[in-house]
Amino acid sequence: MIFPHEVGPILTNLARKAIEYYLIHRTYLPVPMNLPREFYEQKAGVFICLKIRGHLRGCIGTFHPQHEHIIAEIIHNAVSAAVEDPRFPAVTLEELPNINITVDILTPPESVDTPEQLDPKKYGVIVQRGWRRGLLLPDIEGVNSIEEQIRIARSKAGIKTNEPIELYRFQVERYSEPENKEED
């Protein structure tokens, strides 16, 4: 499900419109019907990350698709990143122009037998023990080793370092807005 890189602005603009619409109307943006056909034909997990001047402001997503197509997945996850990330207060309409949006479309997770099959720049990781699960996207600034990637994902899931885990990896297609948004 590789999309041409030119679709990046379409996807990031859709996420921005979904957040703005929700902040104004307190309901989800109706699915626009004028986007490229392939977006309506494919399902995928999607993560939406919001940053202000390089600092995280919200990041939520799904690694298995929860909606009928990528468009709906982006709309719902953009709203979740803006108003449901428990680490941050809800985004306001006033700060929206200063937010840079990244849309990551995930490949399906695949099981790996050993940590050596991971690469923090190329693959995201999912660690799992029973129902506890932690995910870390690939190519995160400051995460340069497999050990660090697994440690962070374990921490997110509440899995202790001595507990055995199942490992999964996935790749992303990342679409980011340019970093030249307005400053406060």
User: 43: which 2 tokens?
Assistant: 């399902």
Residue 184 has pLDDT above 50, yes or no: no
Residue with tokens 């602005």: 9
Task: Please report the pLDDT score of residue 94 as a whole number.
Answer: 97
Residue 20 has pLDDT above 50, yes or no: yes
- Is residue 165 within 8 A of residue 152, CB to CB? The reply is no
- Rounded distance, CA 55 to CA 66, Å? 28
Within the chain, which residue ranges are assigned CATH 3.30.1490.150? 110-170
Task: Please report the pLDDT score of residue 23 as a whole number.
Answer: 98
Taking only the tens place, the pLDDT of each residue in 101-123 is 999 999 999 999 999 999 999 99
pTM score above 0.85 = yes
User: Cβ contacts of residue 49 below 8 Å, gap of 6+?
Assistant: 56, 58, 59, 81, 101, 102, 104, 137
Q: How big is the CA angle at 178 (ends 177 and 182), to the nearest 5 degrees?
A: 100
Assigned CATH for 110-170: 3.30.1490.150
- Is residue 146 within 8 A of residue 174, CB to CB? The reply is no
Average pLDDT of the residues of the chain: 93
- Rounded distance, CA 150 to CA 178, Å? 29
Taking only the tens place, the pLDDT of each residue in 31-46 is 999 998 989 999 999 9
- Is residue 15 within 8 A of residue 101, CB to CB? The reply is yes
Q: Which CATH superfamily is domain 8-106 in?
A: Hypothetical protein ph0010; domain 1 (3.30.700.20)
Taking only the tens place, the pLDDT of each residue in 65-88 is 999 999 999 999 999 999 999 999
Q: Which amino acid is at 161?
A: T
Task: Please report the pLDDT score of residue 183 as a whole number.
Answer: 46
Task: Please report the pLDDT score of residue 179 as a whole number.
Answer: 72
Half-sphere exposure of 102 (CA within 13 A, CB side): 24
- Is residue 154 exposed (0-12), middle (13-18) or buried (19+ Cβ within 10 Å)? buried
pLDDT band at residue 1 under the 50/70/90 scheme: low
Within the chain, which residue ranges are assigned CATH 3.30.700.20? 8-106
User: Cβ contacts of residue 86 below 8 Å, gap of 6+?
Assistant: none
